[in-house]
Structure 1
Amino acid sequence: MTVLSAPRPAWMSEDLVLLEEQASRFVAAEYGPHLEKWHDDHFYPREVWTKAGQAGLLCAMIPEEYGGGGGSFAHEAVINRAFSLGGFDAFGAPLHSGIVAPYIWRFGTEEQKKRWLPKLATGELVGAIAMSEPGTGSDLQNVRTTAVKKGNRYVLNGSKTFITNGQHANLIIVVAKTDPKEGAKGVSLMVVETGDAPGFRRGRKLKKLGLDAADTSELFFEDVSLPTENLLGTDEGQGFVQLMKELPQERMIVAVHACAMMERAVALTVDYVKQRTAFGKKIVEFQNTQFELAECKTEATIAKSFCDQCIERLVKGELDTVTASMAKYWTTDTLGKVIDRCLQLFGGYGFMDEYPISRLYRDARVMRIYAGTNEIMKLLIARSL
């Protein structure tokens, strides 16, 4: 039972309620007992992916004819929420299922869909998308990675960094310039299957402030030869447009995650203050504790209610970029404030890594950076004024 006061949203059908229960049980049974070890190891094993695929928790919105669950973004949101409420914030499945697979589904040729989507749904293929580059960040119009056509092949050269799923991924969508003289119009998406890509090399798993178990990595492409059919879609120069069309969904994935982390932080804190004593009484009995948690619960409830409204609009095809930017910016900013206040109520224990609230505090920080920084979100919102 949730600690929040938000009602069940209209889009949450009975089958989605059942999916949420199934996903929550799976995460608790299959991942929960191992999260401490994976956190300490700063890595989670490859079989995590195949187990998720066997449980039907990958590619839920991809049509059944391509091996997916045949659902909508609402199904992805429910599953992602279960991962986060279960404490598995480091799992790259939301990107795999909600970003990589939809690029292939929406923009790929029929042959590409049949070739890659079923394997992404089972976890045989782990997806990543390689955008950011050293020195340019996410300035996609000015990427330096190139894919030069030579006969019936493309030769891919460049390097990428901050790549989620970088160590496990064996299918990587690479943002590259097929026409280096052009800006946005010269960008294309190239699909690299790493098992058949001489010249592809994984760099180090990057050390981060949070999300310790996530395999965020550097990737290098040195004269990687790709067949022309590995260009996503049929025409060069469509990459920037393809990327822009998927941004509202990408930002909603982050918002869903932020709301679930908020909810978990409040629940952990309520449980802690009801057990811990100070000066002869439970911490929850102090008025300051009650007021702090009342505000945190209110803000988390408002965030979830707004997020639920945006999910409904996205499923209907009505969510615009500005509103998605509002959701991403506000939920992640609020997440940082709520977790900070929750951690304070743990006192010194909140600073200890063994307490989940400490990890939540660290893990939450990146949410304001990836999928477009919150400053960029504000810029996009300001343009609508």
Structure 2
Amino acid sequence: MTTPVEIREQLLATIRRFVEREVLPVASELEHRDEYPHALVARMQELGLFGATIAPEYGGLDLDVTSYAMVVEELCRGWMSLSGVLNTHLMLAYMLRVHGTAEQQRRYLPAMARGEHRGVLCLTEPHAGSDVQRIRASAERRGDAYVLNGSKMFITNARYGTLYAIAAKTDVHADPPYKGISMFIGEKGPGLTVGRDLRKLGYKGIETCEVNFEDYAVPAANLLGGKEGQGFRQVMSGLEVGRINIAARAVGVATAAFEQAIRYAQQRETFGKPICEHQAIQLKLADMATKIDAARLLTYRAADKKDRGERCDVEAGMAKLFASETCLEVATEAMRVLGGYGYTQEFPVERFYRDAPLMIIGEGTNEIQRLVIARQLLQRYKV
């Protein structure tokens, strides 16, 4: 499935107008207040973005992953938190599309495409982040339902989301442990409690919460794909899309930081000339732009492989790794170009600087990305 170029360009033009006219005028104020952007999310719903990658038979836009990455990049040039509203939602939609039963797809994807259901991914736990197979949440079959118990941590969209993809152990004795993980689709109800909102350095305006399950009953029909023990494989396929999302976010934030720096460099004067005429500044600008373009191309390569139905864990890992490191570097360099003003809230560079570290941690730390990349490369080039 490839999105026609003219449709992609029309959508991107619409997103750019949305960002310029509606996001940028309010982003800094909402971010500094750590206020959920209800009005902007409603506009994203009107634009059909909650159905970005959902098939047309369920009311979605059916964008390919490459086009979706471009949408994420444009949103993040305005405010990175907006892309977080979409990420877990579309990861769940992808898992339903690829691994869900026909009944699960019919039941949930139309409402997800309309934004009436908003997806949440409950994976990370207080004692299991990068080491997913060590999760402790359990699911016990009791008649026509599974009863879930456990806690999740750092859950994006938990408070305002309505549809939860929950990783839990159906076989706590499985060896290796990942074979005991299953995925469940649940809605808010008795036994599911959204706990405290975690206060964060950046990525503000979007909730990141604890979620607790205490004898939370899920119908057996809500076991993703209808078969136990497939959860690890299912969530890993979704994380490929998630890592492409993170890479695209990083490209968008880095681009916004670069644009602030290069504009400021042409307006600020020292020693009788604009600072952009000083070689020290020119070297920074050249390195920033080159690395952003490289990060963008790595992101598009990973997205293209995903679009062609190929395994892309290495490519998605490379894109996420390089783009996130580039984003942090560019945000730091942009702050240096702006000098004292870059450290104030007079310019959005300080926001980019606070948002950038999320991409290094989110959807698998960069240390994990390096391990994934190395292990797969050793398999590819085995002697």
TM-score scaled by structure 1? 0.92
Query: Which structure's residues are more often helix, by fraction?
Result: 2
Equivalent position amino acid for 2:171 in 1: D
CA distance in 1, matches of 2:85, 2:37: 13
Instruction: Quote how far apart the aligned CAs of 1:37 are.
Output: 2.9
Question: Identity across aligned pairs (percent)?
Answer: 37
CA-to-partner distance for each residue in 1:288-336, whole Å, 9 max, x for gaps? 1111111111111222223223322222223521222111111111221
- 1:67 maps onto 2:85 in alignment: no
CA distance in 2, matches of 1:239, 1:163: 18
CA distance in 2, matches of 1:203, 1:346: 39
CA-to-partner distance for each residue in 1:202-245, whole Å, 9 max, x for gaps? 11111111112121111111111121112111111110111222
Equivalent position amino acid for 1:382 in 2: A
Instruction: Quote how far apart the aligned CAs of 1:153 are.
Output: 1.3
* Structure 2 partner of 1:187: 181
* Structure 1 partner of 2:136: 144
* Structure 1 partner of 2:109: 117
User: What secondary structure does 2:116 align onto?
Assistant: coil
CA distance in 2, matches of 1:47, 1:104: 28
CA distance in 1, matches of 2:41, 2:163: 13
- 1:236 maps onto 2:223 in alignment: no
Instruction: Quote how far apart the aligned CAs of 1:379 are.
Output: 1.1
Instruction: Quote how far apart the aligned CAs of 1:129 are.
Output: 0.1
- 1:170 maps onto 2:158 in alignment: no
Equivalent position amino acid for 2:329 in 1: K
User: Structure 1 stretch 145-154 or stretch 304-313: which is displaced more?
Assistant: 304-313
CA-to-partner distance for each residue in 1:20-56, whole Å, 9 max, x for gaps? 1011112333333322332122121445433212211
* Structure 2 partner of 1:7: none
Matches within 5 A, 1:190-339: 190-194=184-188, 197-339=189-331
Instruction: Quote how far apart the aligned CAs of 1:159 are.
Output: 0.8
CA distance in 2, matches of 1:239, 1:179: 11
Structure 2 gap segments, 5+ residues each: 379-383
* Structure 1 partner of 2:29: 37
Equivalent position amino acid for 2:246 in 1: V
CA distance in 1, matches of 2:65, 2:315: 16
Query: How large is the Cα RMSD of the aligned pairs?
Result: 1.9
User: What secondary structure does 1:237 align onto?
Assistant: coil
CA distance in 2, matches of 1:351, 1:329: 26
CA-to-partner distance for each residue in 1:239-261, whole Å, 9 max, x for gaps? 01112223322211111111121
Structure 1 gap segments, 5+ residues each: 1-9
CA distance in 2, matches of 1:122, 1:349: 42
CA distance in 2, matches of 1:354, 1:214: 22
Change (3 A) 1:95 1:167: same
Partners of 2:91 and 2:239 within 8 A in 1:
no
Change (3 A) 1:254 1:91: closer
Partners of 1:94 and 1:253 within 8 A in 2:
no
Equivalent position amino acid for 1:177 in 2: K
* Runs of 4 or more consecutive aligned structure 1 residues displaced over 4 Å after TM superposition: none
Instruction: Quote how far apart the aligned CAs of 1:12 are.
Output: 7.8
Partners of 1:20 and 1:79 within 8 A in 2:
yes
Aligned residue pairs total: 374
User: What secondary structure does 1:17 align onto?
Assistant: helix
CA distance in 1, matches of 2:344, 2:253: 18
CA distance in 2, matches of 1:255, 1:12: 23
CA distance in 1, matches of 2:315, 2:364: 14
Partners of 1:344 and 1:350 within 8 A in 2:
yes
Equivalent position amino acid for 2:267 in 1: Q
